[in-house]
Amino acid sequence: MQESKRGNVRNPACLSRQLFDLVTARWATLVLVDLMEGPQRWSELRRRAGGVSDKMLAQTLRDLEAGGLITRTVHADRPPTVLYALTDLARGATAALQHLQDWAEEHTSDYDHYRRAHTIDPKP
């Protein structure tokens, strides 16, 4: 591994911005949260993400693998089994993602209250 050099996510030219964008992308965040529970197959990730298209999931997994956040391991079973898992690099971000997930789930009612209060045509 290379020597650590701190980046600046506010600098659009900095690689830390790309990493930040990758980790916080809608489907990437959900995939990373799901992989915190251990290696998973494609079908499991698609089912758990709920609403992701095959194309978007494929692109997300490719992006996460290219960014060093997940591994893709093909097992020579019949039929072949492909498992996706977090890398050590991604594990550093998962604690923050877990806190964010917990926060979002705990504040669903608050969010709904404010969202309804600021909607022009609130639904009953």
Q: Which portions of the chain are predicted below pLDDT 50?
A: none
| Whole-number pLDDT of residue 55 | 97
What pTM was estimated for this model as a whole?
A: 0.84
Paired tokens of 91: 């594990």
| Whole-number pLDDT of residue 52 | 94
Map residue 72 onto helix, strand or coil.
strand
| Whole-number pLDDT of residue 118 | 86
Residue 96 phi, psi dihedral angles, 5° rounding: -65, -40
| Whole-number pLDDT of residue 122 | 54
